[in-house]
């Protein structure tokens, strides 16, 4: 298990990681999500002792990385920028790593087979495609048969077959009881891979929860109704004990409602509807809403940079059914009109 305790990293004026405290449990894939510049890579470098924290600490199975005698046997990592000498063959790259970590040489052939690179083991890395380099990086991470695996944006730039392969590999490794910690800036990808979710923005923890819980909170749908006869519509809904929410723009919303049932109800009471539409918030939208104040560089709706201050989303956030979800849908509706 990886444990972070108040982990903080400052680069000059820039607070890249800001008091992160969370655990990465074993036996599941934990998705580490955040927009560009959120601090994911810095956190991963701190876990691997490639950078020193300004304050706080990380433990791996209750020890600091520096106290692990042969670290590759505890934790294997694929970082975004893989250091592979272009003139070295895949086999020699792995052989060098194995020898420097006292790993049996036969393990090189095993990991080459595991990642599907056996046939190109004698080829130099300079001729490798991005997908092959990713596979070689994963082979390096698996070399010590570690209990903990960390992947930084492993599907970046891969084709669909490569993405599927990595997704299944991560699930298999977690299924074997290992700790699998994988960073991404794509909620849709994590929804397919991770069972647990840690979200950060501007170095701060925004969410730490099971993926199923995130999906449950954000898979809300609502039927939106607009009428020139609001009193009649509200009476009709009340008679059927259907709860309704009032939108700021004069519309009404029935959470988890059925458009056909609501349309029939309005018709049977002679209520004219000017809008009857099913609204669904996607997980990607929920993630973007969650991190909206944490995005380092993004344009406003009109292309101008946003000037709003970063908010502590972790304490303000409500599921899509709450304040933020409706506001977002209103903005979308305005945009559509």
List residues binding ligand ATP (CB under 6 A): 11, 14, 16, 34, 36-42, 185, 296
Choice between 135 and 204, CB closer to ligand ATP: 204
In the complex, the smallest distance separating the C-beta of residue 36 from ligand ATP, rounded to whole angstroms, is 3
In the complex, the smallest distance separating the C-beta of residue 200 from ligand ATP, rounded to whole angstroms, is 7
Choice between 41 and 134, CB closer to ligand ATP: 41
In the complex, the smallest distance separating the C-beta of residue 133 from ligand ATP, rounded to whole angstroms, is 17
In the complex, the smallest distance separating the C-beta of residue 182 from ligand ATP, rounded to whole angstroms, is 13
Choice between 245 and 296, CB closer to ligand ATP: 296
Closest C-alpha among 137, 39, 124 to residue 90: 124
Choice between 44 and 320, CB closer to ligand ATP: 44
Choice between 16 and 173, CB closer to ligand ATP: 16
Choice between 80 and 285, CB closer to ligand ATP: 80
In the complex, the smallest distance separating the C-beta of residue 37 from ligand ATP, rounded to whole angstroms, is 4
The contacts of residue 28 (CB under 8 Å, 6+ apart) are 174, 180, 194, 195, 196
In the complex, the smallest distance separating the C-beta of residue 35 from ligand ATP, rounded to whole angstroms, is 7
**CA 1 – CA 84 distance, rounded (Å):** 28
Q: Exposed/middle/buried for 289, CB within 10 Å: 0-12, 13-18, 19+?
A: buried
Choice between 81 and 301, CB closer to ligand ATP: 81
Residue 205 CA, chain-centre distance (Å), reads 13
Q: Are 188 and 283 in contact (CB under 8 A)?
A: yes
Choice between 10 and 133, CB closer to ligand ATP: 10
**Local structure of residue 53 (DSSP, 8 states):** -
Closest C-alpha among 156, 1, 8 to residue 82: 156
In the structure encoding, which two tokens stand for residue 10, read together? 């400052």
The contacts of residue 201 (CB under 8 Å, 6+ apart) are 34, 35, 38, 290, 291, 293, 294, 295, 310, 313
In the complex, the smallest distance separating the C-beta of residue 47 from ligand ATP, rounded to whole angstroms, is 12
In the complex, the smallest distance separating the C-beta of residue 130 from ligand ATP, rounded to whole angstroms, is 16
The CA-based angle 184-297-284, given to 5 degrees, is 40
The contacts of residue 243 (CB under 8 Å, 6+ apart) are 254, 255
In the complex, the smallest distance separating the C-beta of residue 33 from ligand ATP, rounded to whole angstroms, is 9
Distance, first Cα to last Cα, the chain = 50
The contacts of residue 144 (CB under 8 Å, 6+ apart) are 70, 71, 72, 73, 74, 76, 101, 103
**CA 230 – CA 243 distance, rounded (Å):** 14
Rounded to 5, what percent of the chain is helix, strand, coil? 40, 25, 35
């Amino acid at each position: 298990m990886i444990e972070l305790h108040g982990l903080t990293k400052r680069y000059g004026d820039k607070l890249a990681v800001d008091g992160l405290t969370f655990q990465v449990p074993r036996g599941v894939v934990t998705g580490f999500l955040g927009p560009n510049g959120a601090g994911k890579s810095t956190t991963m470098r701190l876990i691997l002792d490639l950078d020193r924290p300004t304050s706080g600490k990380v433990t791996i199975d209750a020890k600091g990385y520096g106290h692990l005698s042969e670290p590759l046997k505890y934790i294997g990592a694929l970082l975004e920028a893989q250091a592979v000498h272009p003139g070295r063959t895949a086999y020699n790259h792995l052989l060098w790593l194995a020898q420097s970590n006292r790993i049996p040489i036969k393990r090189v052939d095993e990991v080459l087979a595991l990642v599907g690179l056996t046939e190109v083991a004698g080829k130099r890395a300079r001729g490798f495609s991005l997908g092959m380099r990713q596979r070689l990086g994963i082979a390096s991470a698996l070399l010590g048969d570690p209990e903990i695996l960390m992947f930084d944006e492993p599907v970046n730039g891969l084709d669909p077959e490569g993405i599927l392969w990595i997704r299944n590999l991560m699930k298999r490794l977690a299924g074997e009881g290992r700790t699998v910690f994988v960073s991404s800036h794509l909620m849709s990808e994590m929804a397919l891979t991770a069972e647990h979710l840690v979200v950060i923005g501007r170095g701060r923890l925004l969410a730490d929860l099971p993926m199923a819980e995130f999906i449950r909170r954000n898979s809300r749908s609502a039927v939106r109704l607009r009428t020139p006869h609001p009193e009649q519509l509200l009476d009709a809904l009340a008679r059927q004990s259907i709860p309704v929410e009032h939108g700021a723009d004069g519309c009404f919303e029935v959470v988890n409602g059925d458009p056909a049932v609501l349309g029939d109800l309005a018709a049977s009471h002679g209520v004219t509807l000017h809008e009857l539409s099913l609204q669904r918030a996607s997980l990607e939208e929920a993630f973007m809403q969650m991190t909206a104040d944490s995005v380092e560089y993004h344009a406003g709706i009109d292309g101008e940079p946003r000037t709003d201050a970063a908010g502590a989303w972790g304490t303000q956030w409500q599921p899509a059914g709450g304040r933020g979800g409706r506001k977002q849908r209103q903005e979308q509706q305005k945009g559509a009109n």
